[in-house]
Amino acid sequence: MSSASASNDTQNSTIASNTDITASGEGGGVFQQNMSEFVQVSSKVFFAAAERNKDAIYEQLRPFLAKATLVLEVGSGSGQHITHFAKDFPQVVFQPTEYDPNLLKSIVAYTNDLSKHRIQPPLELNATDKSHWDQVLRAGHRALHHPTKSSVPFDEKQEQGPVYDLVMTTNVLHITPWIVTESIVKGAGQMLKPGGHLIIYGPFRRHGIFSTESNREFDETLRSRDPSWGVRDLEVVQAFAEKEAHLVLKDVRDMPANNYLVIFEKKKHEQ
């Protein structure tokens, strides 16, 4: 891996789906790309970066998970993160989502290992498609109000209004077009109950400035692959989140490999 790519631990679904590296079929193999290591064994996909950063992220998420009833992960990638985060919280309902259909299979393979936990079947989510967000919202209501198969019809009136306590996403914003950032932030604003949190993990610029020279090089590498990608300016995301999604920035935490954990809170009383 180059010095630019090594400065960050990008790993997720979107890298695989946007670089023509897929995880289809059984048996699989081993692939190397300059963003992250990608390994497939059976239906499970393994991202080395996800394995490296999962503990650090989990320690920051623990207090939020302890208070949550329903959690949404946007861009669950291989499924390594959500199964790691869920292991100590069997009482919490987790809803994974993913854009890449091949990675949806991997999520199922990982979550099958936690059969006693309340991880819902993964949903396809194209963040720019409103109908997909509607499906995620309905799934959340059904998981809470109608968790088991029943002959009793589900009351669609119960599907109204925000229902999630926590929305989290890891290493997505810089490897997708800006419209995806907007869509994730607006979607989170619609999914979250007042007082709920959107937590974003990944690299950011602060006031237009890169935290390190390696992050600037990383940004150049991203933009050379796709001009619509790039390390986002946190203050731009913050302004959009408050104006368009009623999300207020509460904290920014330094994380390993020149990343940040960014915490937004849904306004309790929209003005």
Task: List the pLDDT tens digit at each of the 271 positions of the chain.
Answer: 333 333 456 544 443 333 322 222 222 222 223 344 555 556 899 999 999 999 999 999 999 999 999 999 999 999 999 999 999 999 999 999 999 998 999 999 999 988 777 999 999 999 999 999 999 999 999 998 866 554 455 566 656 799 999 999 999 999 999 999 999 999 999 999 999 999 999 999 999 999 999 999 999 999 999 999 999 999 999 999 999 999 999 999 999 999 999 999 999 875 4
| Residue 153 pLDDT | 55
> Rounded distance, CA 252 to CA 261, Å?
6
Residue 154's pLDDT is 54
Query: What's the pLDDT score for residue 158?
Result: 59
CATH topology for 3-266? Rossmann fold (3.40.50)
User: What's the CA gap between 29 and 18, in Å, rounded?
Assistant: 19
CA–CA gap between residue 228 and residue 216 (Å, rounded): 16
How far is residue 30's CA from residue 150's CA, in Å, rounded to a whole number? 43
Instruction: Sketch the domain layout of the chain as residue ranges.
Output: 3-266
Euclidean distance between CA atoms 135 and 140, whole angstroms: 9
**How far is Cα 159 from Cα 129, in angstroms, rounded to an integer?**
19
The pLDDT assigned to 114 comes to 84
The pLDDT score that the predictor gives to residue 14 is 40
- Residue 144 pLDDT: 87
Determine contact, residues 40/28, Cβ cutoff 8 Å. Answer: yes
C-alpha R_g of the chain: 18
